[in-house]
Structure 1
Amino acid sequence: MRSARLFLLAATYFALLMTASPALAQAQVQPSDPWAQAASDIPADSNVRFGLLPNGMQYAVLRNATPAGQASLRLRIDAGALMENEDQKGLAHFMEHMAFNGTTNIPENDLLRILERLGLAFGADTNASTGFDQTLYMLELPRTNDETVDASLRIMREQVSEALMAPDAIDAERGVIEGEERTRNTPQQRVQNAQLALIAPGQRLAHRPLIGDMDIIRTAPRERFVEFYQAYYRPSRATLVAVGDFDVDAMEAKIRGAFESWRPEGAEGPEPDLGVVARRGPETRVLVEPGTQSLVQINWVRAPDMDPDTVAERRENLIRGLGLAVLNRRMGELARGDNPPFLGAGASTSTIADSLSLGTLAAAFNPGGLNRALETIEQEQRRLVEFGITEAELQREITDNRTALQNAVTAAATRSTPALADGLVRAVNDDRVFSSPTTNLELFNATVEGLTPDQVQAAVHPVFEGQGPVVLVTTPVEIPGGEAAVTAVLEASRQTAVSARADEAALEWPYTDFGPPAPPGARAEIADLGVTRIDFPNGVRLFVKPTNFRDNQILVNVRTGIGELALPNDHVTSMALANSVLGPGGTSRLTVDQLTRVLSGRTYSVSAGLATDAFTLGGATRPEDLQLEMQVLTAYLVDPGLRAAPFELARSQIPQQLVQARATPGGVLGRDLGELLASGDKRNATPTAEEVAAMSIEEVRAGVIEGRARGPIDIVMVGDVTVDAAIAAVANTFGALPDRGPQTEPPPGSVVRRFPAPG
């Protein structure tokens, strides 16, 4: 069952959405094979061994040695809250808890003892989750020796076929579930429930909260648990995923040995009637919920997309995703500009739990900013639908996403084991073929070959069609005029003519010369760490550690100055917002959006911040773009943008964030704990609304420039890099800067951090 297929083109998720090209040979499968590739022209990743036990249980085994000597196990049950009867609401999640509360051959306390003896910590390495359409049990194995693997598979088998569900254990767990319900009952959760009720009226999805009905949780007899367990915890609904540093043949044999004898008990549960998407016209709903972020959504609801996972389907989704990526980039630029119309906005399309498909425009705003936010997202969506996208915009998205896919190919051998296991589970839940990075790239290249902006425009148009539109405004304060006023704003916006987007001016990368390259000075080996230290004449110290943990990735960290130690500890200063300005401010010659435009297709990243004892810069790149990465980081150091727009945006959000923090115990803790643990040190304090109102960008600019102007620079470089390449990249960037001079000394008492006196 597909829970949600999101088609936003974020590069980090993009590779998971791609599969094969038409030129690829079709996978060889048996007609009775339940895996998605059996009904698709997309070949699955040939490194994965997909199997089916005689009892109907599926399994997928993949050898992966990152990290070495470890493994990830996932056992998925194809049943969640949507399978519950009216008198079982909440039992899918409750049943997940009971699987840890004793089985036929493993008493409750012994299960945790076994796991702890094997080195697994409950919560970190042993966990489970329940969704609308699946229940998932997870183990992270610190070793792959026989004892650890055998015990782990035995525990998983017992959980799904031998749970005792003793009446006294059920009664003891009822209070745990009630406590979880209280913790989950946040403003955000109430908003989510309201959203489902609005977009799925009359459908099962709107009436199956994952935590359940508390009356049922408190009173459901054991027989009701057994009924659900026997109906849906069955081998034909189970998939075991094993990824890690092991022999595939041996792991497959162990899975067969542990699960082949599993036989279902009782009658099989039916597939739920999910209902149909209701016919409806335009509708507006305002939900006032103190403690929430102000948000407006325009939703178009359609019947669920149940098309099988094929090359043609993936091509259609890819082209649509490219168009949405352009729209989201446009809205991101608006949010980062001067006097922005919203805090953030975006468009998406998804299929939710096989119940409905949804096209959504959404924007977050500060109280009082609804009208402008609503008008802007409506008009930007229409601008794209009516006038399409430019060739330059299309090529930018193609270039960036091709680069991400190429990087995935080169790093395929060192992918993370837990991430691969989770990816296989998502593929099962979405009824999607799990394909290799090479296949993903081939499909992408075949899809974008000859692709035109007109084709992308045509693919995006259906996202904003369907029942509705259904408008939902969630707000912590009343909206003057209520729903009628919101509807009027939307209707007036629709009458406003829009024009095509202006062409963007051509840009060049200006940061290629920081002075003559510096010859490296002293060099020392730190043998026990595998680190080489190189000192440059200007006070730059480079530490390089080549590793093979991940191919084609280099991580860079830069530190200079003394950070917060230079700030007073008795009052809050404007530097409390420095982190909101340093990264988003770009450089003085290029905004963040101009940076991404001029460097399209290159692999770089930048983070900038003010830490306790240093100003920090960081990023990740690949070997071929290491020189560029160092140019970007150096530009952020010596020519920071420090623009007013991100400062004003951050300052405008804090009053609403402070209100939201008061809405939950966790929010209050996060707001106050830092200052409390530092005995009132204001550098650790969350600023008040009044303190924020008095802040200025000029103070931030002066503090950043002063704090980063002098003192040694430490650069740490780790990953797929040689020492010589690291030296060359630093020599003509940071190493070429003027002499840094001595480190600034912190004010007296600045380095002291005190815990509160005992109470």
Structure 2
Amino acid sequence: IIRTAPTQRFVDFYRSYYRPERATFIAVGDFDVDAMEAKVKAKFADWTNSHPNGPNPDLGTLAPREAESRIVVEPGVQSSVDLYWTRPADLRPDSVALRREDTIQSLGLAVLNRRLGELSRQDNPPFIDAGGGTGSFFQSLDFATISANFNPGGLARALETIEQEQRRLIQYGVSETELQREIANIRVRMENAVKAASTQPTPALAMNILGGVNENEVTTSPADNLARFNAAVEGLTPDMVKAELPKAFQGQGPLALVSTPQAIEGGEAEVTRILEASRAKPVEAPAVQAALVWPYTEFGTLGTASGQTAYAALGATVVNFPNGVRLTVKPTDFKDQEILVSVSTGNGQLGLPTDSYSPVSMAGNVFTAGGLGKLTADEVSRVLTGRIYSSGFSVTDETYRLSGSTRPEDLNLQLQVLTAYLTDPGLRAAPFEQIKAILPQVLEQQRATAMGAFGIDGAPLMAGGDRRVSMPTPAEINAMSITDVRAGVMAGLANGPIDIVVVGDTTVEDATKAVAATLAALPVRSATPAPLAGSDKRTFPAHNPTPIRITHNGKAEQAFGVVAWPTTDAMGDRREARLVSLMSEVLSLRVLEEIREKQALSYSPIASATASTTFDDYGYALVAAEVDISKLPDFYAAVDKIVASFADTPITADELTRARTPVIERLRRSQAGNPYWLGALSDLAKDPATEQRINGHIAMLEGFTLEDVQNAARTYLRPDKAWKLEVVAANP
């Protein structure tokens, strides 16, 4: 269809449907309404379309169906099962009464999803993850669904569990404790949205309005939403929820859809047999959960700040504590009710070997899922009902990093949560064993495409064989244990000063108090451990005239070509790295023009630059594209032509403007948000030169000349330094 699509079909469709009577204009932002209206009228008032308006599609009528099963076999796909119940679309106009029904159903479904989530995190779980919900399809039908992802061979347990949990919910409903937990969690998010309403991101608000237009719904404010929610749940009882829930699952079905990378023995008849056998089994009422208390409130003697330094140009303050804790605070007004927090310590991947895959690299996937020493992850969620906090964990090149997002009211709790994870992580076996079971399937799925295979095998090759950027082999996965992860992570978290960054709707005083009672109350921290021998070095591979070949397991015609050149690091003032980055933007313009526009080799070719802030002299520029295997030679020839053009075709002022302007605009937009500052300020406490690097970034970009960028291209994009790689099908 794509190869033979006739031009006239596109023209006719455009004339029939892209027309004023079908258009909605939405504008959100800081502007004068009358001036905006005048601009809209000036641009659109004379828009006419003399061609006939196209008819709306006939969506048909929902056909009657009994319970049935279907199987989709697709190599590399995640094994999953979905149960659907379908019914004719509810086309009643949006109203308070209708939204109340939706609210009650959503509370019951939230309980279902919490139960399914807890099942997925138990020992020997029946599935990887699962969830239920309701929806509509183009106003042609409504549906309820419950689905699960599972490992190969786990269809029966996954299908039985989700089917029986759905019936358990319908038959027994929800408990008062469960209901109030979900009410509290939804209410606190809505209350937070009301307080943050004046700083809603304009793109999100525009999309909210657009969604209302498309779904024939009234666009309402956060305050309206909260008022309606409170009215809907006032006096709400579990019996009332139990009475409403069956309406969500009314209709035809269940229709079972199984997606699998390999055929299922017995086919659809076997799926039906499993489903019918499960439906015949009675279900018991859910067990009552014990009451819990949050135990992480005391961490030692209250810390006292030993000094602080203000960086007025950044609007940031660094506060030092005697135990080695360094706090950087930047109060902002970008978004009301948002505070971002990061906590870093240790030496991260600098403490890991370069010649073998370390189980510590798996920690990011299982750390917070393992809960705390005194509470599982689900118990943490239950005991902190109605609070706004989060917890994330990663192992970066140079640190172990915890992170969270909260509001002013819960800043103290957020610091308690992160301190608890730092000092008493649970690191339980169940999440780790689950990841071990999932990972081989994930890797198989990724290898089903050329780009995915490059993501697995290309990264370590471009890092000179450094295994820290690789994925584990099946043998390495089998050999890993949670004991190995626990030992490595605990050793990493135990040593080194703690650097905290707090950015957002807070004050220096409030952030200092929260840290003083938590991380600053811990015992004195030791110095950061020295890197393992050789772990602070990384090298880019040498020039190779013939591309290195790696393979994928997907379709024979799929291929991926890569050409890369060594550049520089982003240490010190970062001038050269920023120049190379700008050069790569010009390179991207020429790549798009030659590879996509002129030769049509690939729709989405990539050109980028990467520079390390950890490893001296390590960085690279890259051009890559997914192409038909027959076009690989053309791709490499096109890259050679593009690179040669920098020698014989000078960069124009227009090219530099088109390359530089979006970069600066993206940077300016980023600097108007908390996430940028959370990362940018991470080194300020230990490297005051960070202030100049941040404040001088835009001026530096604006100061680069045509000659600077041209010289960078000639310096780094050298044919005698180019490294090439190709990804082709293992079975062509």
**TM-score between the two structures when normalised by the length of structure 2:** 0.73
Q: Indicate whether 1:556 and 2:341 are aligned.
A: yes
Distance 1:314 1:533, change over 3 A: same
Task: Name the structure 1 match of 2:369.
Answer: 584
Given that 1:559 and 1:713 are in contact with CA atoms closer than 8 Å, whether structure 2 keeps it comes out as yes
Instruction: Give the secondary-structure state (helix, strand or coil) at the position aligned to 2:313.
Output: helix
Q: Which amino acid aligns with 1:304?
A: A
Q: Which amino acid aligns with 2:151?
A: N
- 1:638-690 CA-to-partner distances (Å, cap 9, x unmatched) read 00000001100111001111111121122112222321221110011111112
Given that 1:322 and 1:394 are in contact with CA atoms closer than 8 Å, whether structure 2 keeps it comes out as yes
Unaligned runs of 5+ in 2: 545-732
Moved more, 246-255 or 395-404: 246-255
Task: Name the structure 2 match of 1:300.
Answer: 85
- 1:105-159 CA-to-partner distances (Å, cap 9, x unmatched) read xxxxxxxxxxxxxxxxxxxxxxxxxxxxxxxxxxxxxxxxxxxxxxxxxxxxxxx
- 1:540-574 CA-to-partner distances (Å, cap 9, x unmatched) read 00000011001111110110000111111001122
Given that 1:514 and 1:733 are in contact with CA atoms closer than 8 Å, whether structure 2 keeps it comes out as yes
Task: Name the structure 2 match of 1:113.
Answer: none
Task: Name the structure 1 match of 2:285.
Answer: 500
Q: Indicate whether 1:365 and 2:141 are aligned.
A: no
Q: Indicate whether 1:625 and 2:410 are aligned.
A: yes
> Quick one: percent identity of the two aligned structures?
54
Q: Indicate whether 1:220 and 2:6 are aligned.
A: yes
Task: Name the structure 2 match of 1:406.
Answer: 191
Task: Name the structure 1 match of 2:44.
Answer: 259
Instruction: Give the secondary-structure state (helix, strand or coil) at the position aligned to 1:588.
Output: coil
1:425 counterpart (210, 230, 238): 210
Given that 1:341 and 1:376 are in contact with CA atoms closer than 8 Å, whether structure 2 keeps it comes out as yes
1:325 counterpart (110, 132, 140): 110
Task: Name the structure 1 match of 2:447.
Answer: 662
Task: Name the structure 1 match of 2:394.
Answer: 609
Q: Which amino acid aligns with 1:491?
A: E
Task: Name the structure 2 match of 1:202.
Answer: none
Q: Structure 1: how far apart are the matches of 2:257 and 2:434?
A: 24
Instruction: Give the secondary-structure state (helix, strand or coil) at the position aligned to 1:529.
Output: coil
Task: Name the structure 2 match of 1:737.
Answer: 522
Task: Name the structure 2 match of 1:62.
Answer: none
2:65 counterpart (280, 285, 288): 280
Instruction: Give the secondary-structure state (helix, strand or coil) at the position aligned to 2:169.
Output: helix
- Once the two structures are TM-superposed, the CA of residue 229 in structure 1 deviates from its matched residue by 2.1
Q: Indicate whether 1:567 and 2:352 are aligned.
A: yes
Alignment of 1:125-524 (within 5 A): 213-214=1-2, 218-222=4-8, 224-524=9-309
Q: Indicate whether 1:644 and 2:429 are aligned.
A: yes
Q: Structure 2: how far apart are the matches of 1:220 and 1:391?
A: 60
Q: Which amino acid aligns with 1:581?
A: V
Instruction: Give the secondary-structure state (helix, strand or coil) at the position aligned to 2:182.
Output: helix
Q: Structure 1: how far apart are the matches of 2:140 and 2:58?
A: 10
- 1:14-33 CA-to-partner distances (Å, cap 9, x unmatched) read xxxxxxxxxxxxxxxxxxxx
Q: Paired residues, what number?
A: 544
**TM-score between the two structures when normalised by the length of structure 1:** 0.71
Instruction: Give the secondary-structure state (helix, strand or coil) at the position aligned to 1:468.
Output: strand
- Once the two structures are TM-superposed, the CA of residue 488 in structure 1 deviates from its matched residue by 1.0
Instruction: Give the secondary-structure state (helix, strand or coil) at the position aligned to 1:241.
Output: coil
Unaligned runs of 5+ in 1: 1-212
Given that 1:583 and 1:609 are in contact with CA atoms closer than 8 Å, whether structure 2 keeps it comes out as no
Q: Structure 1: how far apart are the matches of 2:287 and 2:10?
A: 61
- 1:324-380 CA-to-partner distances (Å, cap 9, x unmatched) read 110001000000111110000011110111121111110100000000000100111
- 1:232-266 CA-to-partner distances (Å, cap 9, x unmatched) read 12211000111122212111110111111112212
CA RMSD of superposed structures (Å): 1.1
Given that 1:322 and 1:397 are in contact with CA atoms closer than 8 Å, whether structure 2 keeps it comes out as yes
Q: Structure 1: how far apart are the matches of 2:35 and 2:166?
A: 54
Task: Name the structure 1 match of 2:642.
Answer: none
Q: Structure 2: how far apart are the matches of 1:625 and 1:458?
A: 35
Q: Structure 1: how far apart are the matches of 2:368 and 2:143?
A: 33
Q: Which amino acid aligns with 2:78?
A: Q
Q: Indicate whether 1:525 and 2:328 are aligned.
A: no
- Once the two structures are TM-superposed, the CA of residue 219 in structure 1 deviates from its matched residue by 4.5
Q: Structure 2: how far apart are the matches of 1:334 and 1:737?
A: 35
Moved more, 642-651 or 278-287: 278-287
Q: Structure 2: how far apart are the matches of 1:219 and 1:485?
A: 40
Q: Structure 1: how far apart are the matches of 2:503 and 2:52?
A: 56
Q: Structure 2: how far apart are the matches of 1:530 and 1:758?
A: 46
Given that 1:342 and 1:366 are in contact with CA atoms closer than 8 Å, whether structure 2 keeps it comes out as yes
Q: Structure 1: how far apart are the matches of 2:10 and 2:313?
A: 56
Given that 1:522 and 1:535 are in contact with CA atoms closer than 8 Å, whether structure 2 keeps it comes out as yes
- 1:699-741 CA-to-partner distances (Å, cap 9, x unmatched) read 1010011111111000000011111101100001000000001
Q: Indicate whether 1:710 and 2:495 are aligned.
A: yes
- 1:60-81 CA-to-partner distances (Å, cap 9, x unmatched) read xxxxxxxxxxxxxxxxxxxxxx
Q: Which amino acid aligns with 1:431?
A: N
Q: Structure 2: how far apart are the matches of 1:626 and 1:399?
A: 18
Moved segments of 4+, more than 3 Å: none
- Once the two structures are TM-superposed, the CA of residue 627 in structure 1 deviates from its matched residue by 0.5
Instruction: Give the secondary-structure state (helix, strand or coil) at the position aligned to 1:641.
Output: coil
Q: Which amino acid aligns with 2:69?
A: T
